[in-house]
């Protein structure tokens, strides 16, 4: 018979991505057994995140300060804004370390199925940022899905009146990819996006 | 219960952590949904993009169950449209309209074949917007609300047709419209020429084509909303509204570009 507190912990852990009831039970037991080294530090970390972390009012990134660290970093190029769907995509670009501009997190993509329209995304604030004189390029880094590209084209249309260059990520063969293993769509997109050497 | 059929992916919504509920327009079973295990995962997510053609197998204990779908890619059409905003809007609108309008699990072979033709045309032809409008007119006919564009509802004349009655769906001649002109829907000439082999009314320029498509979309949209969705309290999907909006922007397209 489990204590009500532990049962509650298991229920909450089971809601996390990647965890089901069985793995949540294992995780809860693991935490309880390591009270000093894991449970209490984790509880403090969760509390701190719950208290401090908020969406950045400029770009939508998550940080303990507003504007976020990326927006206030003076070493970053303010003339380029990379538009991503979710914070996880921003983190992926930061992990790669290839982009030194600023970001705009949309918070999703246009989706008729999920009832997400333009007003539900951070598009208005992107347009406001694009109108600033220091901004020269908007890079649309949305997923290569029908919803992602529909959103890309919609934003491109919205930015038509702004004096900025609009670009988007290339679609095609991933690094390390072998043609034999790629799906038809990817090969087609790669061929369409071929460039002169 | 088990079947295997070809289908076109209309939509896929994530279900749980790794699965998806996919809606297919199948060749012999109409619009059909099913749970695709791993459908939200990296391997299958690309296959479940709207417009892709798949070979689908469905299995369930009882016919009324949602059932498990397994899909194999046959033709990845979606990727061909991603870079073209108009064509992508056409693909999204066709899939969204088929999903909203067609009843589930009722065979509509004509609509399926029409959609295959439409997707082919979107992929290769500049005049695909006209094919799209014809496909929606065919959809109306398949659902029992076909437009009667053969002759004027008032005079019986077969020429000079320029309007459609928003109530009856019958054509009205330009001369016979009279004082009701403002209350009637414009009838694009390419719809009148359809089926007669004349082909005389095809728009000559891309600007004309977009105008004709906008009129055609207004016409079919009116009857889809009134007859098909009106009784169900539904509305035309936002993806179609975006397509209409694209073709309504007449000033952005140079009018002298020829249609290929």
Please report the ipTM that was assigned to this predicted complex: 0.81
DSSP-derived 3-state class of residue B162? strand
Higher pLDDT, A79 or B17: A79
CATH number of the domain that residue B44 is part of: 2.40.50.140
Confidence of residue B193 (pLDDT cuts 50, 70, 90): low
The answer to whether position A184 is within a domain reads no
Which residue's entry shows tokens 């061909």? B80
Q: Which of B157-161, B167-171, B200-204 has the lowest mean pLDDT?
A: B200-204
Angle at B119 between CA B46 and CA B191, to 5 degrees: 155
What pTM value is reported for the model? 0.85
Residue B81: closest CA among chain A residues belongs to which residue? A146
Q: What is the pLDDT of residue B256?
A: 40
> Would strands B53-59 and B68-75 be described as parallel, antiparallel, or unpaired?
antiparallel
Nearest 5 degrees, angle CA B246-CA B249-CA B251?
145
Domain with residue B153: its CATH number is 1.20.1440.120
Residue B54 shares a structural domain with residue B165: no
The per-residue pLDDT for A1 is 52
Answer yes or no: is A26 within a domain.
yes
- Asked if the model's pLDDT at residue B195 lies above 60, the reply is no
Section B205-215 average pLDDT: 87
Over residues B25-71, the pLDDT tens digits come to: 999 999 999 999 999 988 888 899 999 999 999 999 999 999 999 99
| Average pLDDT in chain B | 88
Q: Is residue B224 within 8 Å of B146, Cβ to Cβ?
A: no
- Across A62-71, A90-99, B95-104, B175-184, least confident range: B175-184
Residue B249, pLDDT > 80, answer no
Cis peptide before A67 (omega within 30 of 0): yes
Q: The domain containing residue B22 runs over which residues? A: 2-76
At B252 the pLDDT is: 45
Give the pLDDT of residue B71: 95
Q: What one-character DSSP code corresponds to residue B124?
A: H
Do residues B130 and B46 both lie within one domain? no
Give A18's pLDDT tier (boundaries 50, 70, 90).
Answer: confident
Q: Does B92 touch chain A (CB under 8 A)?
A: yes
Number of domains in chain B: 2
**Of B76, B98, B118, which one is at a domain's C-terminal end?**
B76
Confidence grade of residue B93 (pLDDT, cut at 50, 70, 90): very high
Average predicted confidence (pLDDT) for chain A: 93
For residue A156, list chain B residues with Cβ-Cβ distance below 8 A: 85
**pLDDT at A56 > cutoff 80:** yes
| B25 and B120 in a common domain | no
Decide if B137 contacts B220 (C-beta within 8 A): yes
CA quadruple B134, B137, B139, B142: dihedral positive or negative?
negative
Q: Which residue has the tokens 């009146």?
A: A161
The answer to whether B46 contacts A117, with C-beta atoms less than 8 Å apart, is no
CB–CB contacts below 8 A, A to B: 71
Q: Are residues B94 and B209 in the same domain?
A: yes
Interface residues from chain A to B (CB-CB < 8 Å): 17-18, 110, 112-114, 117, 144-146, 149-150, 153-154, 156-157, 171, 183-186, 188-189, 192-193
Boundaries of domain holding A29: 4-52
pLDDT per residue as tens digits for the range B94-135: 999 999 999 999 999 999 999 999 999 999 898 999 999 999
Beta strand extents in chain B (DSSP E only):
2-15, 19-26, 30-36, 53-59, 68-75, 161-164, 171-173, 185-186
- A 10 A CB-CB count for A84 gives 24
Question: Does residue B199 surpass a pLDDT of 70?
Answer: no
Q: How confident is the model at residue A2 (pLDDT cuts 50, 70, 90)?
A: low
Q: Are B62 and B71 in contact (CB under 8 A)?
A: no
- Give the residue carrying structure tokens 């699965």: B19
B17 and B136 share one domain: no
Least confident of A136-150, B123-137, B204-218: B204-218
Inform me whether the C-beta atom of residue B238 falls under 8 Å from chain A C-beta atoms. yes
Q: At residue B206, does pLDDT exceed 90?
A: no
């Amino acid at each position: 018979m489990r204590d009500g507190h532990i049962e509650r912990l298991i229920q909450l852990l089971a809601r996390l991505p990647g965890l089901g009831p069985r793995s949540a039970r294992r995780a809860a037991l693991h935490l309880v057994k390591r009270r000093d080294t894991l449970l209490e530090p984790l509880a403090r970390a969760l509390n701190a995140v719950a208290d401090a972390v908020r969406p950045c009012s400029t770009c939508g990134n998550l940080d303990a300060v507003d504007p976020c660290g990326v927006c206030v970093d003076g070493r970053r190029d303010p003339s380029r804004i990379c538009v991503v769907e979710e914070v996880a995509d921003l983190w992926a670009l930061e992990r790669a370390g290839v982009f030194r501009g600023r970001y705009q997190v949309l918070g999703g993509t246009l989706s008729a199925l999920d009832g997400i329209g333009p007003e539900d995304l951070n598009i208005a604030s992107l347009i406001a940022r694009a109108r600033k004189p220091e901004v020269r390029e908007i890079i649309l880094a949305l997923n290569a899905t029908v919803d992602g590209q529909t959103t890309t084209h919609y934003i491109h249309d919205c930015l038509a009146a702004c004096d900025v260059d609009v670009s988007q990520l290339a679609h095609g063969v991933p690094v390390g990819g072998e043609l034999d293993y790629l799906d038809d769509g990817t090969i087609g997109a790669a061929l369409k996006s071929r460039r002169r050497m | 219960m088990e079947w295997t059929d070809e289908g076109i992916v209309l939509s896929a919504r994530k279900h749980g952590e790794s699965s998806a509920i996919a809606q297919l327009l199948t060749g012999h079973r109409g619009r059909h949904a099913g749970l695709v295990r791993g459908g939200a995962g990296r391997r299958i997510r690309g296959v479940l993009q709207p417009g892709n053609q798949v070979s689908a197998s469905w299995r369930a204990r009882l016919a009324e169950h949602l059932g498990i779908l397994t899909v194999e890619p046959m033709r990845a059409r979606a990727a061909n449209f991603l870079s073209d905003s108009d064509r992508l809007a056409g693909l999204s609108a066709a899939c969204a309209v088929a999903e909203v309008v067609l009843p589930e699990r009722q065979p509509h072979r004509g609509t399926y074949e029409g959609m295959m033709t439409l997707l082919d045309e979107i992929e290769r032809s500049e005049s695909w917007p006209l094919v799209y409008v014809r496909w929606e007119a065919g959809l109306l006919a398949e659902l029992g609300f076909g437009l009667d564009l053969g002759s004027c509802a008032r005079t019986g004349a077969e020429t000079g047709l320029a309007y459609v009655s928003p109530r009856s769906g019958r054509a009205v001649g330009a001369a016979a419209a009279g004082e009701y002109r403002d209350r009637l829907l414009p009838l694009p000439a390419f719809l009148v020429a359809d089926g007669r082999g004349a082909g005389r009314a095809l728009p000559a320029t891309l600007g004309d084509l977009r105008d004709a498509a906008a009129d055609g979309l207004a016409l079919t949209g009116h009857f889809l909303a009134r007859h098909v969705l009106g009784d169900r309290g539904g509305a035309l999907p936002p993806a179609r509204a975006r397509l209409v909006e694209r073709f309504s922007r007449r000033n952005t397209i140079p009018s002298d570009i020829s249609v290929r």
